[in-house]
């Protein structure tokens, strides 16, 4: 898969450019993230122009132009190692028309790509998608630390009003044979991101695929769905119904 290869029309306005020293790594992360967020344009920029290990100015520029092929499109750029950052910065400095529609973020390459893709699929704008990728870096600390990240304001729909209306809460049993693993977690996070209401699943941000996966909720687990703000009851009912229905995984 090359940076300039034809791609299906994306439904999300925010695209992702993944810059790696290895073409295989960039393409593999794109493939994985696409499984979680099929409506997002993901463009790999891996390796050098001659097919070697490293990063290349032209490959990064081509990838950015491919991602920004629509007038209203924007792009979040993730990199794997420090020298890749330097290559991206050189392109953005030399190409201001690309720089004004792009955001280079500091985030873990794989986790950041997955989190950003799911948030973009849910309709997040450039700022929201960028912060979602950056937030992924805080998700997996030392094992057993017991910390749970708070619900970030940027990860829920822009139409929410957390202080309005009343809260709602219900519990639901996870029916999926393998629990809330990557794919159903992504479906759930995309759904929550589009609700415009602050929703938590067992206390974590319901719009974050990584936080949902970190719960480790297996088949038969009971999880609590809680929402606040206008439309909270309807949002909780919708999320509970989706979980009971298996999130496309039954």
Residue 73 CB burial class (10 angstroms; 0-12, 13-18, ≥19): middle
Using a cut of 0.85, tell me whether the model's pTM lies above it.
no
pLDDT tens digits, one per residue of 207-233? 888 888 888 899 899 999 999 888 999
162 and 129 part of one domain: no
- For the CA atoms of 179, 190, 160, 167, the dihedral, rounded to the nearest 10 degrees, stands at -20
Question: Looking at 21, 121, 135, 181, which residue is catalytic?
Answer: 21
| CATH, residue 192 | 3.30.1340.10
**Maximum distance among all Cα pairs of the chain, rounded to whole angstroms:** 59
Q: Identify whether 107 is part of a domain.
A: yes
Q: Does 21 qualify as catalytic in the annotation? A: yes
Residue 54 belongs to domain spanning: 14-136
pLDDT tens for each residue of 59-75 = 999 999 999 999 899 99
Environment class of residue 145 by beta-carbon count within 10 Å: exposed (0-12), middle (13-18) or buried (19+)? exposed
Of 136, 165, 188, the residue at which a domain comes to its end is: 136
Q: What is the pLDDT of residues 177-213, one digit of tens each?
A: 888 888 888 889 888 888 888 899 999 988 888 888 8
Do 110 and 28 contact (CB within 8 A), yes or no? no
Residues with Cβ < 8 Å from 248, sequence gap 6 or more?
183, 184, 187
pLDDT for residue 159: 34
Residues 83 and 186 in one domain: no
């Amino acid at each position: 898969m090359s940076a300039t290869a034809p791609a299906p029309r994306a439904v999300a306005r925010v695209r992702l450019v993944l810059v790696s020293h290895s073409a295989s790594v960039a393409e593999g992360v794109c493939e994985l993230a696409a499984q979680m967020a099929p409506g997002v344009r993901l463009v790999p920029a891996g390796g050098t122009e001659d097919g070697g290990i490293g990063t290349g100015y032209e490959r990064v520029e081509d990838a950015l132009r491919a991602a920004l092929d629509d007038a209203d499109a924007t792009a979040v750029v993730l990199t794997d190692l420090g020298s890749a950052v330097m290559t991206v910065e050189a392109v953005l400095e030399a190409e201001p028309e690309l720089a004004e529609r792009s955001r280079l973020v500091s985030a873990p390459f794989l986790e950041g790509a997955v989190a950003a893709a799911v948030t973009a699929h849910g309709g997040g704008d450039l700022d929201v998608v960028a912060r979602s990728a950056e937030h992924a870096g805080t998700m997996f600390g030392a094992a057993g630390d017991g910390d749970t990240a708070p619900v970030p304001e940027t990860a829920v729909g822009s139409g929410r009003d957390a202080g309005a209306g009343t809260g709602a809460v219900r519990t639901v049993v996870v029916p999926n044979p393998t629990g809330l693993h990557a794919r159903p977690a992504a479906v759930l996070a995309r759904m929550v991101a589009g609700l415009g209401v602050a929703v938590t699943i067992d206390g974590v941000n319901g719009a974050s695929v990584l936080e949902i996966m970190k719960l480790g909720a297996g088949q038969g687990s009971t999880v609590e769905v809680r929402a606040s703000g206008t439309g909270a009851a309807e949002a909780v009912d919708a999320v509970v119904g989706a979980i009971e229905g298996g999130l496309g995984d039954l």
